[in-house]
Copies of this chain bind each other. A is one copy, B any other.
Amino acid sequence: MGSTRTARGRGGAPSMVEVAALAGVSVGTVSNVVNHPERVRAETIEKVRAAIEQLGFSRAVPVRAARTNPSVVEVAAVAGVSVGTVSNALNHPEQVRPETLARVRAAIEQLGFTPNANARSLAGGENRTIGLVVVDLGNTLFVDIARGAQREAAARGESLLVTNSDRDDAQQDAHLDLFESARVRGVVLAPLSDPFAGIQRVRRHGTPLVVVNYDDGRQDCCTVLVDNERVGYLAARHMVELGRRRLAWVSELNDLQPVHERQAGVRRAVREAGRGVSLVELDTEGVGENDGDHVVEEVLALPARRRPDALIAVTDMLGASVVEALRGAGLSVPGDIAVMGCDHDARAWGGAVPLTTVRMEGEEMGAAAVRLLADEVAEGVDHVHRRVVVQPSLLVRESSAGRLPR
């Protein structure tokens, strides 16, 4: 990348690298001459100082230094040992004599040596980094998953690298390949849609993989799931406990597993509530997450005695959109109709009425995923895939319970 430049101007000041080249010594030696001349033979000092003189070298704050990293070879030279010993000092310090260790560590410190992880990995050293591919960092659930995974990884002395596929299948694949090509220890995937192809992609190389928040039903990897049936159950039970009697389930009509499961939970709660409580299912095809107006039209079209007094939306986004539409139609929330969502999604939190929701325990999910991955790594070929199901919890806010007294 060429030479160094001082902060003061564009002088093109020479770097230690150039001095070393001119003097025919290593950069470590030049550094020693500058910082610790007592460690260097008089003859070498003279040679280096001549080079310094000739090039007009002076230590300066570089604006943008050439990119350069000392290697084990230079560390070994400065410490006066072989590269094998440097490597041992790094990886098996207990096998190195304390004094030798101290000398190596001093050299590392002095040179600012940061081992090249690529070389280390290539040579068969241990890799303690995990990759997490997340479908959408804009959704709170996945941010929570990332945070939980990060904490668990840190607690285990591993590093977590996060990648956001931004709801794009091609990017998701690219990120899986990226982690595979980096030969990370394992991958956690929170996918957009059925991750079958992605799983195959990782699995064919035998890389440990855990899938979060998607049950493909094939059991071909460890999985962390939310109990979505319970999500719906908690929601409907909440409305019943508030005294609501005519519940409505609002969702897009589609094949997504979580949607079906939540719906099943709602039905179960209504069934358990007995005679006085009824359920209307407003699951229309093509209702997007911002189609509250559309939903409200349907609601208002119902005969008065069938009109619901509680709406449960499959997601917070849809719930928030429904709240706005109801208020736009002159109805009060929750006075006329209580509303809630599911998901605990921050994108839905800007509305006028704080939205009741069912929260999935994202941090716990992320932590569980890292634990499963660690087990898979540890167990090797004896590993048997497991699934962890995390329980959701209710979060009551104004849209169902009204403004809280305090």
- B-binding residues in A (CB < 8 A): 1-5, 7, 61-69, 112, 114-122, 129, 137-138, 140, 143, 146-147, 150-151, 154, 159-164, 166, 171, 174-175, 177-178, 180-183, 203-208, 220, 324, 327-328, 346, 349-352, 354, 376, 380-381, 383-385, 395, 397-398, 403-404, 406
Expressed in whole angstroms, the Cα–Cα distance for A147 and B138 within the complex equals 7
Expressed in whole angstroms, the Cα–Cα distance for A178 and B174 within the complex equals 21
Using CB atoms, name the residue of chain B closest to A134.
Answer: B162
Using CB atoms, name the residue of chain B closest to A7.
Answer: B220
With both chains docked as a complex, state the minimum distance between the C-beta of A180 and any C-beta of chain B, in angstroms.
Answer: 5
Expressed in whole angstroms, the Cα–Cα distance for A7 and B381 within the complex equals 12
A380: chain B residues within 8 A (beta carbon): 1-2, 64
B151:A2 contact, CB within 8 angstroms:
no
The 25 sampled A-B contact pairs (Cβ below 8 Å) are: A1-B381, A3-B381, A7-B220, A62-B203, A64-B206, A64-B380, A64-B381, A64-B385, A67-B207, A69-B183, A69-B205, A114-B180, A114-B181, A116-B183, A117-B178, A117-B183, A118-B119, A118-B121, A129-B178, A137-B150, A147-B164, A147-B166, A159-B163, A328-B406, A349-B349
Q: A119-B122, A122-B119, A146-B137 are in contact. Are A65 and B206 (CB under 8 A)?
A: yes
**7 further interface pairs, Cβ-Cβ under 8 Å (given A117-B181, A122-B122, A161-B161):** A2-B380, A63-B220, A65-B203, A146-B162, A150-B164, A159-B175, A350-B397
